[in-house]
């Protein structure tokens, strides 16, 4: 019979009282209601002003003047925003737990850089210009770079520091490659300028159905890793004493993050701050328990992404700001606040 040592008993998270569980569940429910309201608003609001009656008719009628606007543009855009937001938030939460760094994001392990480099290669050297074409290059690039970073970090001794250092080095090299190709090829610069900002404008049924299986598998895998990641957060020695399989947990965490972030980046471009900011904010009121952080990230990350997309459509009518710009404007000050608060807490 395995008995925890006194030190392990002190380090383990204390069981939350029933009242706290109820408050967390209520918060998750309220977040889901807010997400539903934003999804409805995203379908109803756009550069072209439509009445609620026109939106309803366009949504549920296959004919008419508004079907192409409401369904072909707004509906699939909203669904992709929900999907990509959940994927980015979950991948950020998993990577923060994996690296034991609450300020980590999907870009830390080079996944965004791999997707960007693959898209540059596809556009410049293979002449791929359609989203349905380069989405597969982006996903493949993210997957390959995720595997390379894990191998460089050491499959049997992949500590958080080694993974972070390997990801930083690979990202720097790949972004150097991206910038050099864009400088030498004006056509590539023009094509990539839109994608690298991060946008939901090109969303359609094809894009949604292409990335849905990868994000679904990554989501299920991430949620199943909640308990092992809780053990991993206590340190390698404690995790081993608790019976956690470190290498298996790290490998599956990398697979999950790559599936989630790679698919979202492939479909929408590299959107910053969602995977960094949302899990960190969630942790401030749920505590370090991944069994709550991951479900909250699944709900609240799309709230940020879809909400930012709505703001981008409203502030620049009749044009719009891309969602990647809005999340950066919101995320920059929040990130500075989080870093300063973390620094003050350590003093």
Whether the Cβ atoms of residue 78 and residue 39 lie closer than 8 Å to each other: yes
Question: Which tokens belong to 167?
Answer: 């990801």
Instruction: Give the residue extent of every domain in the chain.
Output: 82-301
Whether residue 318 is preceded by a cis peptide bond, meaning omega within 30 degrees of 0, is yes
Question: Which tokens belong to 264?
Answer: 């979202």
Question: Which tokens belong to 225?
Answer: 């890793």
Whether the Cβ atoms of residue 289 and residue 13 lie closer than 8 Å to each other: yes
DSSP string computed for 247-286: HHHHHHHHHHHHHHHHHHHHHH----SHHHHHHHHHHHHH
Evaluate if residue 33 carries a pLDDT over 50: yes
Q: What integer pLDDT is reported at residue 320 of this predicted model?
A: 85
Evaluate if residue 77 carries a pLDDT over 90: yes
Per the model's pLDDT, the better-predicted residue between 18 and 84 turns out to be 84
Q: What is the CA radius of gyration of the chain?
A: 21
Q: What integer pLDDT is reported at residue 310 of this predicted model?
A: 94
8 — pLDDT class (breaks 50, 70, 90): very low
> In sequence order, what are the residues at sequence separation of 6 or more whose Cβ sits closer than 8 angstroms to the Cβ of residue 268?
80, 84, 198, 199, 200, 203, 323, 324
- Weakest-pLDDT range from 107-121, 133-147, 279-293, 332-346: 332-346
Q: What integer pLDDT is reported at residue 19 of this predicted model?
A: 80
Q: Give the distance, in angstroms, between the CA of residue 152 and the centroid of all CA atoms in the same chain.
A: 23
Q: What share of the chain is helix, strand, coil (3-state, %, to 5)?
A: 80, 0, 20
**pTM, entire model:** 0.86
233-259: per-residue pLDDT in tens? 887 788 888 777 888 998 899 889 989
> Phi, psi (5° rounding) for residue 244?
-75, 145
194-208: per-residue pLDDT in tens? 777 888 987 888 889
Q: Give the distance, in angstroms, between the CA of residue 166 and the centroid of all CA atoms in the same chain.
A: 20
45 — pLDDT class (breaks 50, 70, 90): confident
Q: What integer pLDDT is reported at residue 157 of this predicted model?
A: 57
Q: Determine how many CB atoms are found less than 10 A away from the CB of residue 240.
A: 12
| Distance, CA of 132 to CA of 141 (rounded, Å) | 15
Evaluate if residue 141 carries a pLDDT over 50: yes
**Nearest one of 274, 337, 280 to 307, comparing CA atoms:** 274
- Per-residue pLDDT, averaged over 178-190, amounts to 76
Whether the Cβ atoms of residue 208 and residue 80 lie closer than 8 Å to each other: yes
Whether the Cβ atoms of residue 44 and residue 66 lie closer than 8 Å to each other: no
CA angle 193, 198, 201 (to 5 degrees): 95
CATH 1.10.3470.10 fits 82-301, yes or no: yes
Q: What is the DSSP letter of 108?
A: G
Per the model's pLDDT, the better-predicted residue between 109 and 295 turns out to be 295
| Distance, CA of 316 to CA of 307 (rounded, Å) | 15
Q: Give the distance, in angstroms, between the CA of residue 37 and the centroid of all CA atoms in the same chain.
A: 21
Q: What integer pLDDT is reported at residue 309 of this predicted model?
A: 94
Q: Is the dihedral of CA 68, 69, 74, 77 positive or negative?
A: positive
To which H or E segment does residue 288 belong?
A: none
Q: Determine how many CB atoms are found less than 10 A away from the CB of residue 39.
A: 19
| Distance, CA of 225 to CA of 219 (rounded, Å) | 10
């Amino acid at each position: 019979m395995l008995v925890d040592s006194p030190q392990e008993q002190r380090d383990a998270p204390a069981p939350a009282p029933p009242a706290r569980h109820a408050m967390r569940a209520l918060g998750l429910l309220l977040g889901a209601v807010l997400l539903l309201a934003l999804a409805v608003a995203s379908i109803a609001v756009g550069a072209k002003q439509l009445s609620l009656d026109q939106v309803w008719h366009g949504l549920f009628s296959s004919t008419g003047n508004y079907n192409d606007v409401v369904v072909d543009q707004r509906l699939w855009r909203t669904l992709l925003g929900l999907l990509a937001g959940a994927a980015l938030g979950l991948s950020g939460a998993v990577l923060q737990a994996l690296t034991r760094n609450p300020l980590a994001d999907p870009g830390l392990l080079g996944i965004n850089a791999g997707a960007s480099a693959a898209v540059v290669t596809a556009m410049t050297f293979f002449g791929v210009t359609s989203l349905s074409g380069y989405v597969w290059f982006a996903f493949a690039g993210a997957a390959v770079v995720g595997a390379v970073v894990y191998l460089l970090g050491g499959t049997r001794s992949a500590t958080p520091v080694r993974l972070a250092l390997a990801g930083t080095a690979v990202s720097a090299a790949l972004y150097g490659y991206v910038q050099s190709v864009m400088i030498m090829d004006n056509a590539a610069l023009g094509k990539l300028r839109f994608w690298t900002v991060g946008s939901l404008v090109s969303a359609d049924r094809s894009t949604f159905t292409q990335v849905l299986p990868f994000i679904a598998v990554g989501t299920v895998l991430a949620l199943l890793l909640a308990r092992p990641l809780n053990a991993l957060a206590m340190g390698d020695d404690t995790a081993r004493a608790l019976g956690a399989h470190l290498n298996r947990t790290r490998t599956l965490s990398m697979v999950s993050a790559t599936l989630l972030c790679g698919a979202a980046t492939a479909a929408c471009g590299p959107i910053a701050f969602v995977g960094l900011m949302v899990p960190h904010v969630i942790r401030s009121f749920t505590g370090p328990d991944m069994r709550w952080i991951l479900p909250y990230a699944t709900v609240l990350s799309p709230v940020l992404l879809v909400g930012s997309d709505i703001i981008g459509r409203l502030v620049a009518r009749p044009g719009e700001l891309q969602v990647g710009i809005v999340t950066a404007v919101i995320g920059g000050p929040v990130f500075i606040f989080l870093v300063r608060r973390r620094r003050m807490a350590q003093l």
